[in-house]
A and B are shown apart, each in its own frame.
Chain A
Amino acid sequence: MNPANYLYLSALLFTIGAAGVLMRRNAIIVFMCVELMLNAANLTFVTFARQHGNLEGQIIALFVMVVAAAEVVVGLAIIVTMQRTRRSASVDDAHLLKY
């Protein structure tokens, strides 16, 4: 098997994630699709590290994991806050923003 197959797989996963972001309307699922995209990018990094024979790609993947963890904390905090607000009395104006 040619290791380039990993690249096809990661491209496929990235595309599925991107399509999911556009298709779903639940904020948490959209966010999970973004995580899927980041994971796909990590697979690409690791595969290219193997191709080039240097560890830079693995380092980047490690950094991406840390960044993603921080991003998840912030994102979920925003989602939880908004959910709390929506449930309270002032739900009257739920869709204030246009689009």
Chain B
Amino acid sequence: MIRLAASETLIPAPNIEYYELSPILIVFGVGVLAVLVEAFLPRAHRLHAQLALCLTGLVAAFVVVCTLTDEAQENARAVPQKVAAEGAVAIDGMTLFLQGTILLLGVVAVLLLAERRLGGEFAASAATVPGSAAEKETTRLGWVQTEIYPLLMFSIGGMLIFPAANDLLLMFVALEVLSLPLYLLCGLARRRRLLSQEAALKYFLLGAFSSAFFLYGIALLYGYAGSVRLSDINAAVSGSEDNDALLLIGMALLAVGLLFKVGAVPFHAWTPDVYQGAPTPVTAFMAAATKVAAFGALLRVFYVGLGGAKWDWHPMFWGVAMVTMLFGSLVALVQTDVKRMLAYSSIAHAGFILVGLVATNAEGLSATMFYLLAYGFSTIAAFAIISLVRDGSGEATHLSQWAGLGRRSPVVAGMFALLLLAFAGIPLTSGFTAKFAVFSASASAGGTPLIVVGVLSSTVAAFFYIRVIVLMFFSAPVTDGPRVAVPSLTTALAVWIGVAVTVFLGVLPQPVLDLADNASFLIS
């Protein structure tokens, strides 16, 4: 027995709001269970157990998010507002909206990861050397690297914390929790493994580099405010005038780390390579969910923590948004690989979302959240379709191979065309609603030059999306070109969900727009 001396003080037990935090805790718990499944279940049962576990967990977490939103609406306020876990996690409208979005995208991603009929996208055993006898043997035995499911769950868990983090330390930890599994997942492709591993290494090194900048930014802001809690930083920013240099440099470095995750110019260099090299389901998940989480964090830091210094960071984001939109659209024009083209298009979209962010009003916040939801589902479905177009050696991603695809498989090509139209922002698709919301929010905040640039680059972007559609439907099919493989139910479901959401948000956007409006509320 150790007896405490009378003079020693006891640490008061922390107050943890388990109910409000349960979406995060469920996802992490499922991740841990999934690791145990790997350890104790025989190989033959692992895949199904993992699928059941992950889908159940994600859906359960989503249900909790819904009830949390619902309960709050019953009480007078439109959104919940609570700071949980000793003030480290902010549970507010934006958190719940983005957590719901991430969980739904996670469900779709699990469905994509589960594709088995096409031989799977992941290496049978990632530790075997490519081309070795062991690799052939594991492939022949039909092994599956089922560790991808716990990794995905941990990544989703990190993404759930990232937009909710109310202090910069938790945000840094969440950034790493969401990134490390993604680095690993990028390197696990089944075919062209060296390309995939190179993508993983490149993503890892650049990601670590950018998170070092993020960390130094936190250090300088800590020096400025004496605390890393966003409310304290906000108080320091609005309270005093001195020490400006620490604030400015810290803010800029923080933005570097976050803009890297978002894939905005000039921190976009990793995007095309990683999107191209990673297994397509991982690319789909990364393109959709990482953007949601990272924009959530960006919104929270700059609206809640640094809102008082708006006039310092506002011009920077203006510039970044403009350059990102133009650069992404222009470079996408000259791409010959479908995955790379979508990568540059995702850079351009990051620019459009930033337009919503720089509006710095409730409208902008709600438009940004709506855009993230709409873009997430369209992009995850688009990458899913890419994984279906195959020839003898796997995915056929070269654009020339897609010529005449619309004649051979009109349904799939039609769906891809619809998604491209959504990316271009054509009416009756989710892309139009989203762009309209973002631009109108920007207009009310006096962002006319941004809108001009935005419309201009939308036009450029529309040109190359329509070029692909023309190529698919109106040019002669290449001989021995790729064909559309018949996927298993899970992938088909993922594609249909993505397409359905894209159409729904284009035709009947109002309920979701209202939801986003109600949720456009931040606490500190």
Contact = CB atoms under 8 A, between A and B. Distances in A.
Interface of A: 7, 14, 17-18, 21, 27, 30-31, 34, 37-38, 40-41, 44-45, 47-48, 51-52, 54, 56-57, 59-60, 63-64, 67, 70-71, 74-75, 77-79, 81-82, 84-86, 88-90, 93-99
A70 B222 contact: no
Interface string B171-195: 0110010001001100100001111
A48 to B, nearest CB: 4
Given A21-B209, A27-B201, A85-B194, A90 B219 contact: no
Contacts of A93: 194-195
Contacts of B172: 63-64, 67
Interface in B142-200: 169, 172-173, 176, 180, 183-184, 187, 192-195, 197-200
Contacts of A84: 129
B436 interface: no
Given A31-B208, A96-B195, A97-B195, 17 more contacts: A14-B216, A41-B219, A44-B216, A45-B222, A48-B223, A52-B226, A54-B227, A59-B169, A67-B172, A75-B183, A78-B201, A93-B194, A96-B192, A96-B198, A97-B198, A97-B202, A99-B269
A90 B184 contact: no
A46 to B, nearest CB: 10
16 contacts: A30-B205, A37-B213, A40-B216, A44-B216, A45-B219, A52-B222, A56-B228, A63-B172, A71-B208, A75-B183, A75-B208, A77-B184, A81-B126, A94-B194, A96-B194, A97-B277
Q: Report the 5 A-B pairs with minimum CB-CB distance, sorted nearest first.
A: A37-B212, A44-B219, A52-B226, A48-B223, A96-B195
Contact of B173 (A14, A40, A67, A78): A67
Contacts of A60: 169, 218-219, 222, 228
Interface string B263-287: 0000001001100110000000000
A51 B212 contact: no
B117 to A, nearest CB: 26
B205 A70 contact: no
B240 interface: no
Contacts of B432: none
B131 interface: yes
A34 B271 CA distance: 20
B17 to A, nearest CB: 22
B204 interface: yes
Nearest to B175: A67
B308 interface: no
A17 to B, nearest CB: 7
B399 to A, nearest CB: 15
B283 to A, nearest CB: 14
B197 A81 contact: yes
Contacts of A52: 222-223, 226-227
A35 B128 CA distance: 29
A88 B132 contact: yes
B216 A41 contact: yes
Contacts of B222: 45, 48, 52, 56-57, 60
A19 to B, nearest CB: 12
A54 to B, nearest CB: 7
Interface residues of B, number: 45
A13 B226 CA distance: 22
B233 to A, nearest CB: 12
B418 interface: no
A60 B212 CA distance: 13
A98 B272 CA distance: 9
Contact of B184 (A7, A54, A59, A74): A74
Contacts of B215: 37-38, 41, 64
A88 B129 CA distance: 7
Interface string B212-252: 11011011101100111000000000000000000000000
Nearest to A64: B215
Contacts of A54: 226-227
A96 to B, nearest CB: 4
A81 B196 CA distance: 11
B130 interface: yes
Contacts of B208: 31, 34, 71, 75
Contacts of A70: 176, 180
B228 to A, nearest CB: 6
Contacts of B176: 67, 70-71
A98 B273 contact: yes
Contacts of A57: 219, 222
A3 B249 CA distance: 20
A85 B228 CA distance: 43
Given A14-B216, A78-B187, A94-B194, A88 B130 contact: yes
Contacts of B193: 85, 90
Contacts of B213: 18, 37
Nearest to B194: A85
Contacts of B228: 56, 60
